[in-house]
Structures are given as C-alpha cells and as structure tokens.
Chain A
Amino acid sequence: MAEPLTAGTTAPPTGLLSIENLTVDFHTPRGTARAVDGVSLGLFPGEILGLAGESGCGKSTLAMAVPRLLRDPAVITGGRVRLGDGDGDGVDLLGLSDEELRRVRWRDIAVVFQNAMNALNPVLRVEAQLVDVIRTHERTGRREARERAARLCGLVGIGADRLRAYPHELSGGMRQRIAIAIALALRPRLLIMDEPTTALDVVVQREIIAEVRRLQERLGFAVLFITHDISLLVEISDRIAIMYAGEVVELADARTILDDPAHPYTRGLLASFPTLHGDDTRLTGIPGAPPDLVDPPPGCRFAPRCPSAHDRCRAERPVRVTVGDRDVACHLYGPAEVTP
C-alpha cells in the first residue's frame, strides 16, 4: 500500500478519476493470474490519457474495472477507484451499491467499445438505444428524448434519418460514430474508449480520431483511450501510460513518450510501429512473449525480454518512481544504485 514514490502520479483531490493500487485477479483452473497488479493512475478533468500495451497486458481489464464492468473470472481484489466530485475525496466506485453504481454509469462514465457492431443491440433501432439511456437517467419525455437523440446524431456528423436504422444497416464508421453519440448522450465527465478504432480501416480510423478530438475540445470530457497502436495515441493523447504484464511501466506526456522514451519496453513498443510521417526507420519489434501471469518472473516482468536487463532486474521488482517529467518503473532509473 505504501508507495510514497508513486503518490504524485495519482490525481490530486481536484482530479477527475484516481485509480489507487488497483488489483484485478483472474481465477483460472491453472491458478490465479494477476491481470492488473497494483496500478495507480490519475486522470484530470478534460485530459486525454492514452493507455497502451500489447494484447493481454491488462489495459482493457484496468479500464473495464473502473465502471466495474468486469465479468467472471475477473475479480477486483484490491485498491480504490475514486471519482472526483469537485471537492473532497470523491466517491469510491468500488464501494458503491449496485443501484448507486447504476446511476453513476453513463451519467459520469461512458464507454465506447471496440467493435460497435457487437456493442450495439442488433434488434433495436439506433434511436431506441439512444432514447433508453437518456430516459433511464433523466426525467425526459419520449418526444424530448428523441429530439436530443437527433441532435446527438448531428453532433457526430450523422443525419437524423439514420436514427430509424438498425445497426446492421450502417457502415462500420457510422456505427462507431453512433456508439460515440450514445456515449455522449448524458454529457459524461469521463469517456472510456476501449480500442474504439481497431475494427475500422485506417481512413475511417483517422476520421474517428479527429472527431473525438474535436468533440473533446468542444465538450470538455476526459478520455481514457486504450489501444495497442501507440502511434495513434501519440496523436490524440495529452499523456500516455504504458502497461506491461499488469503494471504501468511508464507514464509521461505524449511528446516525452514519443521523443524520449525511457523504459526499454516503451522503446520496443515504439520501434514496433511505423511512425505516421514515415521516417525511414527499421521496425524491430520486441523479441519474446509477455510472461505467464499465473507464474510471473520474480524480478522485473520485462527482464526476460529486455535488452538492458542485468542481475538486479531478474531478482528485484522495480517500483514506479518520478524521474524528471516522467514516471517509470525500471532499475535503469531506480532510486538506489544506478547500474553501470
């Protein structure tokens, strides 16, 4: 619990969201896999925080744990998730009753899922899926809710005539815009976007990203943006958190991550994607595979794949510390002896 060195990384009381020491376990037949391992992360109002990492690093699990949307076998086993209420300590989402949680969901925290085709109910018209969330949370007449639904469609650049459509009658990009419109229906303070563009082609991907950025500037909500595509994050995020094997290994401004990555894993991740403006660099990737979380390596989780690993890395787990304008969990930047 006592992590004085990481205290600065969680949001202060004026922050929007503060994840503190969150632990999520998957109870599998082989044993318990710790998918999120004591992660602390803060979000400020109106910022876009990118969360990147390989598949299975726990980024989606972390994000879905915030509005408590995890399913069996994932169980939150420790920590706090405080949602700021402007003053004081805010409210711990993990302590809410089901009914209290239901009221917070979507009103304060909305989610855009990876694949809108699967996330939209196939048998309900788009309008019904907008209207039901408005009318569940607000005392609104059917007529007024429909008018709001039409305005929300306009907000994401979709004609109000598409409201009468069923999800399968829309293109992938339109569906994702509708999903964003639904997410913004109650003007939430936080939008969790779980790989919202992964299922789309690159052109549509760009459009959606630009749209999110535009809407975010206009409406001022904060975004927790999850993707494995770090080049996309650099474009949209204010800050970026890099996750590896259930831990946040580096957290810094987007520019810092891009220009001066500190953690060997961040460097490897950046070297795995082509940059947008086509620098003629060689894509190297990271050799090896993420560790088995049921039986993780004893020291640094990245040590077996790390080009800079030394003896201490294989024995002792690094803690996340603030070094200059970034947080990093790596013995190369550790508080104790600096390795030669």
Chain B
Amino acid sequence: MSFLLRRAAFYAVAGFVAVTLNFLLPRLMPGDPATTLFAGYADQLGPDDLASLKEAYGLSDAPLLAQYADYLRSLLGGDLGTSLSQFPTPVTDLIRDGLGWSLLLGTVSVLIGFTAGTLLGSFAAWRRGSRFDTLVPPLTMFVGSFPYFFLALLVLYLFAVRWQALPQGHAYGMDVAPGLTPEFLGSVATHLLLPATTVALVSVGAWVLSIRNTMIGVLDEDYLTMAEAKGLRTWRVMGHYAARNAILPTVTSLGLAVGHVFSGQLLTEVVFTYPGLGNQLYAAVTTHDYPLMQALFLMITISVLAVNFAVDALYAALDPRVRGAATASS
C-alpha cells in the first residue's frame, strides 16, 4: 500500500507543477491573446476594445502572485473560463463532451492494439523461427511505419467513401438519439471502428515486437521449464507462467501509450471528424480560442498523470516484487 501512497504523492506534486506551468507559460510568452487578437482586427477595434478583451480573457496587470492565487481559486472551483469560439459556453462543458469520446476512442484503440500485439507477439515467440514468426512481426512493423494520416485517409477512402461500408465521421449517426439504446450503442460502435482500428494498426507492430522479445526471454527461464516439467496444461503454462511474466515490462509502455492517446489522437480525430479532445484542440488553435486551448493542455497533462498512476497501480497488482520492494525500503 505504501508503494501506491508514495506514487500518489509523486503524481500530486507533478500535477501541481503542471498546473503552475500551465499558468506561467501563457504569461511568459511575448504578448498575450488579447493583443494578438487585437492585432488581427486592428482596423475594426479601438484601444478601449483591447482593454475589454483583456478583461474578458482574465488578463490583468495585477502582481503575478495575486493572479496565481486567483487562477488556483477558480481552478479549484472547476472554472476554466469561457470559450471564445463558442461564446459563452463554459470551457468545462465543452471539455466534458470531448473527454468522453477521447477516452472511448483511446481506450478501445489501445486495447485492440495491445491485445492483438500481445497475442501475435506471444504466438511468434512460442513458435520462434516458424513461418508465422518470420512473416507476422515484420508485416506489422511495415504497416506501423506508414505515416498515420496516409493510412487513415486510405482506410477512410476505401471503407467509407468507395465501399460506403462504414460512416465517414462523427461519433454516432444523426438519425439516432443518444441514450442507452441498442441503436445508439451500435451506431457508436460502427463510428468507432475505423478510427480505432487505424490507431491500433499503426501501434500493433511495436507491441508485437516488444512482447515477442520479452516472451523469448521468459521462455528461457527455469520457471517455464519447471512449469512444463510439472505437466501443466499448455494454456496454464502460456497464461500464468509465460504471459503473466512477459507482460510486465509492457505494462509500463501501456501507460505511455494510453497517455499518448490524449495528446496524440489529434490527427485521428481530425481525419475522422471525431468529436474528442484532439478535434477540440485543433478547432481551438484555428479559432484562437485561448481559454479552451489552455484548459485542454491542462486536461491532457492531468490525464497523462492519472493514467500513469493507474498503470503504476496495475503494475503493483501484477508484480508482487514491486510491492515487496516498496515495503522493504520504507
């Protein structure tokens, strides 16, 4: 338990640093959003407008510390400001919608990539040197080396435009009402299929390779020979002895991958017009929606930290030695 508590403390500090940086960065930049915007509309706006713009952005000439206190206070109150591009919707409302979709897309795509990669990689290691082993890992690496946008556009063109088998974009069809109905869930699933599989496709090669390599190491371990000597059934040897150990180093990468989802999914969401955080970030950048941008950056940072903490917890659950080491040293 103390292991998790110490990890939690670490992530709390990291989170605080992130929040502080998120406050400082825009203020360290030369100029400010109001001035930038003002410059764009210089012929239509007067000096008074600049002042009110600053006011609207919450930019003041108050001392930095006072601003910081103010910022923390509104953050704790769950107030991330008001969106400019969709004025006057609070940023939190926008993010709440996007976050759900991003989480769904991210989790599903990582799970598909990870599961497929683990299965293929384990099998390749189990049958080392076989035809499967010589063909599949290089093939997945080949697919993974495609530029993502190219693969995504190709898949989109083939499945959604040419064969019209799957929807071209959005998270669910216009003709279904959101709710826990089979129609709605089915619509969500078909809309999820293309973006999720493309992300999985480009990432599966890395999983295959890493699982295959750790698995080959594990297969040489004495405990694998002993498991075989014990006359256990193959699935027990594969699952509880081989995979359970081979998966450990990969769980760490799983954390990184899920963390990456929040920031790296931007391209996917833009290509498939999927209404997640990435799409919102893209929109925020193109419309100079600074409050939304800033909130999204914060959101992404916090999410990455949260996911990493979850992975630490998972790792402790999977590897008893991590728990043991923590108790021994504390």
Contact = CB atoms under 8 A, between A and B. Distances in A.
Give the dominant DSSP class at B's interface: helix
B222 interface: yes
B320 A168 contact: yes
Interface of B: 220-223, 225-233, 236, 240-241, 244-245, 248, 318-321, 324
Given A113-B225, A123-B318, A133-B232, 11 more contacts: A105-B228, A106-B231, A114-B222, A122-B319, A123-B248, A125-B320, A133-B231, A136-B230, A136-B231, A136-B232, A168-B324
Contacts of A115: 222
Contacts of A182: 230
Contact of B233 (A102, A106, A166): A102
A114 B221 CA distance: 12
Interface residues of A, number: 32
A45 to B, nearest CB: 21
Contacts of B221: 118
Given A113-B225, A115-B222, A122 B231 contact: no
Nearest to B320: A166
A122 B229 contact: no
A105 B233 contact: no
A184 to B, nearest CB: 12
23 contacts: A69-B229, A71-B225, A102-B231, A102-B233, A105-B228, A106-B229, A110-B229, A113-B226, A114-B222, A118-B223, A119-B226, A120-B223, A121-B226, A122-B321, A123-B318, A124-B241, A132-B232, A133-B230, A136-B232, A136-B233, A166-B321, A168-B320, A169-B320
Contacts of A169: 320, 324
A254 to B, nearest CB: 27
Contacts of A137: 231
A318 interface: no
Chain B CB within 10 Å — which of A107, A128, A166 has the most?
A: A166
Contacts of A110: 229-230
Contacts of A118: 221-223
B176 to A, nearest CB: 45
Give me the 8 closest cross-chain CB pairs, A-B, nearest first: A105-B231, A118-B222, A166-B320, A119-B222, A102-B231, A133-B230, A111-B229, A121-B223
A103 interface: yes
A123 B245 contact: yes
> Which of A102, A123, A124, A133 is the most central at the interface, judged by chain B CB atoms within 10 Å of its CB?
A123
A56 B271 CA distance: 61
Interface in A1-34: none
A319 interface: no
Nearest to A118: B222
Nearest to B241: A121
A123 B241 CA distance: 8
A69 B230 CA distance: 11
Contacts of A105: 228-231
A147 B232 CA distance: 20
Contacts of B233: 102, 136
Interface string A96-110: 000001111111001
Contacts of A132: 230, 232, 236, 240
A291 B147 CA distance: 56
Contacts of B245: 121-123
Contact of B244 (A69, A123, A168): A123
B231 A123 contact: no
A69 B319 contact: no
A261 interface: no
Nearest to B325: A168
Contacts of A113: 222, 225-226
A69 B228 contact: yes
B48 to A, nearest CB: 68
Given A106-B230, A120-B223, A136 B236 contact: yes
Interface string A157-198: 000000000101100000000000010000000000000000
A118 to B, nearest CB: 4
Contacts of A120: 223, 226
Contacts of B222: 113-115, 118-119
A311 B240 CA distance: 57
Contacts of B319: 122-123
A264 interface: no
A67 B236 contact: no
Contacts of B318: 123
Contacts of A166: 320-321, 324
B231 A119 contact: no
A69 B237 CA distance: 14
A120 B227 CA distance: 9
B63 to A, nearest CB: 54
A227 to B, nearest CB: 17
Nearest to A115: B222
A114 B231 CA distance: 19
Nearest to B129: A72
